[in-house]
Amino acid sequence: MYVTIVPEGQLEQDALRQLIAYSCPKIAIFDSLLERKIPNRETKASGRDSLQKNIHRYRNAAAKAGQAYVILFDLEHDYPCAPALLTKWELAGVMPDNFIVNIAVRSTEAWLMADREGIAQFLSVSPDNIPLKPDEIDHPKQKLMSLGQMSRLSKTRRAFASVTGKSAGSGYNSYMRDYIQNRWRIDIAANASPSLSRALERLRHIERLFQTERAT
């Protein structure tokens, strides 16, 4: 079975690739829709607004195709909880088995900080500065940016430097990709992030589908 991933952005793509490799290593990623244009439209498949507009296209494609579609985007502050978002986006009902929607509470940065020792070592900051329950942080991305700016390493502070105080520095994504691919301990992080733990269980469902498919 092949998987097409639909991430909200670059950081979500990097995290999703790593999560799939960890939870279902026998599954091959066929394609990522990040940056891909929607057919006959000027919009890209990635980005929150585009995801919301086109997510039912992906659900229908999963129902017809012999491959899985895996979505990852952030809860942010538009809704109080993931079930409320799913209801608003009309995704609360029965979905195809190979259509997997993952929502990071409140953003993917919370999942990355859930490995407290790992992110502290990577950023060269004290573990005491890393929250114990990252899913409960109101603004995980801003928290992670502030941690990077507290680093004892000048190269880290530069990568996380923000001109506006809200957006990440120009080196942020590439810096965090290194952490995701080489330092992030997903098993440790899942113990501290309930939303990450649920996402891993959904991804393992793909592995079970793959095993069933091979057995038939």
CB 55 within 8 A of CB 73: no
Q: CB within 8 A of 182, min separation 6: which ones?
A: none
- Edge-first strand order for the sheet with 67-74 is 28-32, 2-7, 67-74, 99-104
| The predicted structure's pLDDT at residue 174 | 92
| The predicted structure's pLDDT at residue 214 | 73
Bridge partners for 74 per DSSP: 104
| pLDDT < 70 stretches in the chain | 1, 35-46, 163-167, 216
Rounded CA-CA distance 196/163 in Å is 30
CB 68 within 8 A of CB 100: yes
Half-sphere exposure (Cβ direction) of 122: Cα atoms closer than 13 Å: 24
CA dihedral of residues 59, 60, 62, 64 (deg, nearest 10): 170
| The predicted structure's pLDDT at residue 74 | 97
| The predicted structure's pLDDT at residue 188 | 98
Rounded CA-CA distance 49/92 in Å is 19
What are 80-135's pLDDT values in tens digits? 999 999 999 999 888 999 999 999 999 999 999 999 999 999 999 999 999 999 99
Going by C-alpha positions, the residue among 123, 13, 11 that lies closest to residue 3 is 13
Q: What residue ranges define each of the domains in the chain, with the CATH number in brackets?
A: 2-105+193-215 (3.40.50), 110-189 (no CATH)
| The predicted structure's pLDDT at residue 6 | 95
| The predicted structure's pLDDT at residue 169 | 74
Q: Read out DSSP for 117-169? A: HHHHHHHT--GGGS-S-GGG-S-HHHHHHHHHHT-SSHHHHHHH--SSSSSPP
